[in-house]
Structure 1
């Protein structure tokens, strides 16, 4: 019974995200509805077979326009989030910091503004709360603020892409296998 509640939580989070999308010109999310099959069969959604929870959300390059719903932070099993190459705008919700299992965050080629919430700060010091994050890609947005020096202390990070924003600061890599593109 509790597993059904978890699936409902994921479906609610995805539907709240869909409701924040103002333009879906190719009707990519047309099968995202409670009346259709489980959310694990929705376009761009991949679920963990063991728990039936949303593991990946890949909506890259779908010409979607809108904002990011704070409810996306309720996808507690999310590992990969790809929203790159769309027309998402506005500020990033601090609820993204709740995604403790997140390994890949690709928000590149959108129109996000402001700081990556210090709440993700600009890339705030609290980004270290995403302890499993391997890839951070926020290039080609309109983000501003200071890059925290603590980002180089995140042992899980393998790639950081920050170019074409108005970020300031330096990143020092203590690891030789970290790819940094600023």
Structure 2
């Protein structure tokens, strides 16, 4: 009887190996050969599932996205059935900040992927759509939460997401502590909400 192969499990295993390589040695170290060695498989198997580095990178960022979404669902569920928009946004941003090792690994991969897509517009297309969706969702929560007079919800959403990315970079570099980053987040939310 032939062996049953779980193709998604193999793809995920390869993507996780890619994330470890990128997280430990940087994106420039990511190659089919290095990822295969890290995953404990042959280069041929990696090429069977991913024809190009771009395909491998796109799948890895999907794995990071799925893990982030699972963490967000868990964290927002803890807020109860009817959280305030401010509490919801604070929880979402705080959950996405790289304040522990699993989130630092994801953060390093995300940062590497943003750098990778900066010179590959065709690969960046999906990220642009995600960004537009995030800005829209955050702006909606700001409107629902009652912004301070003069606060434009769209611009405030852009600024909040930029703050999140900036704090993430500084946390990854060890420039800020988690406490400092969360205090900055709270101070920024104070400027948005009445």
**TM-score normalised over the length of structure 2:** 0.28
**TM-score normalised over the length of structure 1:** 0.29
Greater radius of gyration (CA): 2
Higher strand share: 1
